[in-house]
Amino acid sequence: MPPARQPDQSAPRTVSPTGVGYEGPKDGRDPRGQAGDTLTTPNGVRIPDSDHSLKAGPRGPVLLEDFHLREKIMHFDHERIPERVVHARGAGAHGVFTANGAAAKVTRAAVLAEKGLQTPVFVRFSTVLGSRGSADTVRDTRGFATKFYTKEGTWDLVGNNIPVFFIQDAIKFPDIIHAGKPHPDREIPQAQSAHDTFWDFVTLHTEATHHTIWNMSDRGIPRSYRTMDGFGVHTFRLVNEKRQTVLVKFHWKPKLGVHSLTWEEAQIAAGVDPDFHRRDLYDAIENGAFPEWDLGIQILPDTPDEAFEGIDLLDPTKIVPEESAPVQVIGTLVLNANPTNFFAETEQVAFHTGHLVPGIEGTNDPLLQGRNFSYLDTQLTRLGGPNFTQIPINRPHAPVNDNTRDGFHQQAVHTGQAPYTPNSVDDGVPFPANWADGAYVNVPRHVEGDVVRAAPASFDDHFSQPALFYKSLTSVEQQHVIDAYTFELGKCYEQGIKERALTVLARIDERLCAEVAAGLGLPVPKRIKPEKPRPESPALRQIRPTPFPIQGRIVGVVAGPGADLDGIAALRKALEAEGALLRVIAAHGGQLVKGRKVEIVERTFATGRSIEFDAIVVADGAPKDGDFRALVMLQEAFRHLKAVGAWGDGVDVLRAGGIDPGAPGVITGRKSNAKLAGAVVAALGLHRAWDRTPLVRASMVPPTV
């Protein structure tokens, strides 16, 4: 018999999942939401397959006649009023995208092709699973959605910070979200995947393995929105002026590099500053450290099989390694203005994968095709009707002359008498456009196939790319993946789910499976060989020896009443020259005064915490009372592999906190000078002192008795 579940997961059920044992009203009314053992539509029609959309052939487009897809997603889209069902917790900013002209040979879309063209944008970042009131720093996928207000109409690139998705077909989207959301009986846990229903789903639908291992990596807990990648996820088709086509994948690459939080940092932030990511974004923009990303594309041939080096380009759970198809930069995004009103802009902005402009087309990716329906449909409830594009944040920056009329929240005052085309009453206006006028004209594509609920055989490879991802990581990143799986599965109560998860991990890597099994206290599955991955892809690593710019980084300086204010001022000047900030931390608020020098205390030991700072330095003239809060702050920063430093007698404070001045990433000096400032800047550029990892891990192992 499996072990009993813990109390918080095992409340007695008054009704079984199928309604057996239910004793309800005797007057004929039956309020059960679930009756019988067979899957049906809402009106009782039995369904043989709820995992595949109805298509014209396994690789063909999804058919509009699929009533089950329509009903399933329609109902899912309207489950929450008015909060977003997914991506509810978000932050946004205005900016501008500037094309460099490199895409002119592959697309007619001016937003990408016209060199020097500047296009206004609004970007919304978000978590996926949590409610609007959840924390920013939970382990989760992050949304990265960009609305381009182009002169040809609005284009929405609705992406994530992970390049693949959990599922291959949109018909399963309600299922993966239902599995990831809080358990319906108790509405817990909030905003996290460390629970039974999530792991039950992803281990039964092994197509989710690739996305899951990305989420278990450092990518699942980004340092900030400013330091995370963005991906279009799907394969798109670009069309040039000669009607030639290529397939592409979109990539956002942050100028500051890709960096993440440690797991302990993420947990602390969720408690002491649940707004950590939105605060970081808003403060950076307000301080002039404008976040920047390069937009790049992987250009792939548009062949009949829509594959590249054996990778099915219609499968949203697959990547194309950058070593096989380099990312070519086609423009740069700069976010330079915060919203004026959160609700009017960030909350009411509406994205839609089907909002495309001439020169950009979708593909037969079944997840993308389902999203093209879902995003449009969900606005009807969330934004109160079909006129959501008239809300200022959604309003196109191109002329609009459509034949839609009336409806909820109609704000346009339409003129004329003929809302139809063609007409003679209004002199034929509006006239249809053609290719030469910039009309959206789809490139003809041959489509044929039997009407089936199926997926192509190439979609069956669920493990080779997760194995590639894990193999490509550094040893430090691999250990973080092991730790994440061990934590998440350790929060599950169903023994069978844990055991099934280990069989999945065994298909990825032997050490990964063995380490997680040891952490769970379970045996390693036998007779399962890991997949043989492709050659390593170094582009998948986050930890690199390359220094990055430090704009918007924050250095905390711990200062006592007699602190060296000249030294603080010198360090501040050096940091500000690189776009970084310095915050003075002291025992209490107010000012530090020494002669004619004055420093404002911006954080106290009560209001500051290590997570806010990318490095912490103790100034000469350090606090003499050994305030434990200062020591905790330094110890946390040291444990999180951040740069830690001191000058003068500040070194004694490091020693009092058990920090070895000779340890990696610890910067000391007799005084604050150019050498010390240069060392701090260099350490910030590398994000963390990764060489300190063995020392920190060893200190966390209790001594043997």
Q: Is 336 assigned a catalytic role? A: no
Residues 402, 394: Cα–Cα separation, whole Å = 16
CA 152 to chain centre: 28
Distances (CA, A) of 697 to 39, 42, 279, 503, 525: 49, 53, 30, 28, 27
Residues 686, 550: Cα–Cα separation, whole Å = 9
Q: Is 160 assigned a catalytic role? A: yes
Residues 585, 587: Cα–Cα separation, whole Å = 7
Tell me which of 52, 94, 100, 160 is the catalytic residue. Answer: 160
Q: Which amino acid is at 105?
A: K
Q: Is the peptide bond before 82 cis (omega within 30 degrees of 0)?
A: yes
Handedness of CA 612, 615, 618, 620 (dihedral sign): negative
- Residue pair 257/541 in contact (Cβ under 8 Å)? The answer is no
Handedness of CA 690, 696, 701, 705 (dihedral sign): positive
- Residue pair 648/621 in contact (Cβ under 8 Å)? The answer is yes
Tell me which of 52, 68, 87, 210 is the catalytic residue. Answer: 87
| Bridge partner residues of 468 (DSSP) | none
- Token pair listed for 243: 């009607």
- Token pair listed for 185: 């009986």
Residues 637, 620: Cα–Cα separation, whole Å = 19
HSE-CB for 146 with a 13 A CA cutoff:
25
Residues 107, 103: Cα–Cα separation, whole Å = 6
Does residue 235 come out as left (phi exceeding 0), alpha (psi in the -120 to 50 range) or beta?
beta
Question: Helices 475-490 and 209-216 meet at what angle, rounded to 10?
Answer: 110
HSE-CB for 319 with a 13 A CA cutoff:
29
Residue with token string 């449009």: 376
* Angle CA 214–480–459, to nearest 5: 25
Spell out the residues 6+ positions from residue 383 whose beta carbon is closer than 8 angstroms to its own.
Answer: 82, 348, 350, 391, 409
Spell out the residues 6+ positions from residue 28 whose beta carbon is closer than 8 angstroms to its own.
Answer: none
Residues 555, 619: Cα–Cα separation, whole Å = 12
- Token pair listed for 479: 């250990």
- Residue pair 95/121 in contact (Cβ under 8 Å)? The answer is yes
Spell out the residues 6+ positions from residue 395 whose beta carbon is closer than 8 angstroms to its own.
Answer: 389
Helix-strand-coil split of the chain, %, nearest 5: 30, 20, 50
Residues 177, 659: Cα–Cα separation, whole Å = 44
| Widest pairwise Cα distance in the chain | 94
Active-site amino acid positions: 87, 160
